[in-house]
Amino acid sequence: MKEVVLGIGNTLKSDDGIGIYIVERIDKYLEEVRRGAGQAKFIGARRKVIAINCGTTPENYTSIIRRHNPDRLILVDAAEMGLTPGSYRIIPPEKIEVMHLSTHSMALSFLILYISDLCKDIVLVGIQPEKMDFGTELSSAVRRSGDRVANLIIEKRLNEIITLGI
């Protein structure tokens, strides 16, 4: 199964940069595999996961999504869910419109509607931020969760992430 992961967020607003952090972690793992330094569990993932840093404009990457023609599209982003900082959840489509997601030029609900023609299996993973102030450092709880989410994506274990209640 080929997966494209879109990391969304603003690295200048503390925990809002968690989506970018996650795709950078995935890229680091994949680079280790290419060099032969990665753990054995990552060997099969090399050609099946593509991680893209979208910043705050994921809509600018639709042509790349189309070119890769993924079986699954995974969006990772900071999301205000009213949970403990660092908590992460799969956000169902019906919850996306009413949630505060990180700073984007286009609402994620519109983006998902637009790209649903390109890929039928779209998953949004939200990570609860602790702080969204100006700054480049992630909080420790959010960073730890980012590492866990990156591993779950690489290991194809998204099914282990709880879905946010409706």
pLDDT in tens, 9-64: 999 999 999 999 999 999 998 888 777 765 545 555 555 889 999 999 998 999 99
Q: How far is CA 11 from the centre of its chain?
A: 14
Mean predicted confidence (pLDDT) in 73-96: 92
Say yes or no to pLDDT of 133 above 80.
Answer: yes
Q: How confident is the model at residue 115 (pLDDT cuts 50, 70, 90)?
A: confident
Mean predicted confidence (pLDDT) in 154-161: 93
The residue that leads in pLDDT, 165 or 166, is 165
Q: How confident is the model at residue 106 (pLDDT cuts 50, 70, 90)?
A: low
Q: How confident is the model at residue 124 (pLDDT cuts 50, 70, 90)?
A: very high
Say yes or no to pLDDT of 153 above 90.
Answer: yes
- Secondary structure in 3-state letters for 63-130: HHHHHHCCCEEEEEEEEECCCCCCCEEECCHHHHCCCEECCCCCCHHHHHHHHCCCCCEEEEEEECCC
Q: Is the dihedral of CA 40, 54, 132, 82 positive or negative?
A: negative
Say yes or no to pLDDT of 102 above 60.
Answer: no
Q: Domain residues of the chain, as ranges?
A: 3-160
Distance between CA 37 and CA 68 in Å, rounded? 26
Mean predicted confidence (pLDDT) in 2-9: 95
Determine whether domain 3-160 maps to CATH 3.40.50.1450.
Answer: yes
Amino acid 112: pLDDT: 83
Amino acid 47: pLDDT: 55
Amino acid 108: pLDDT: 77
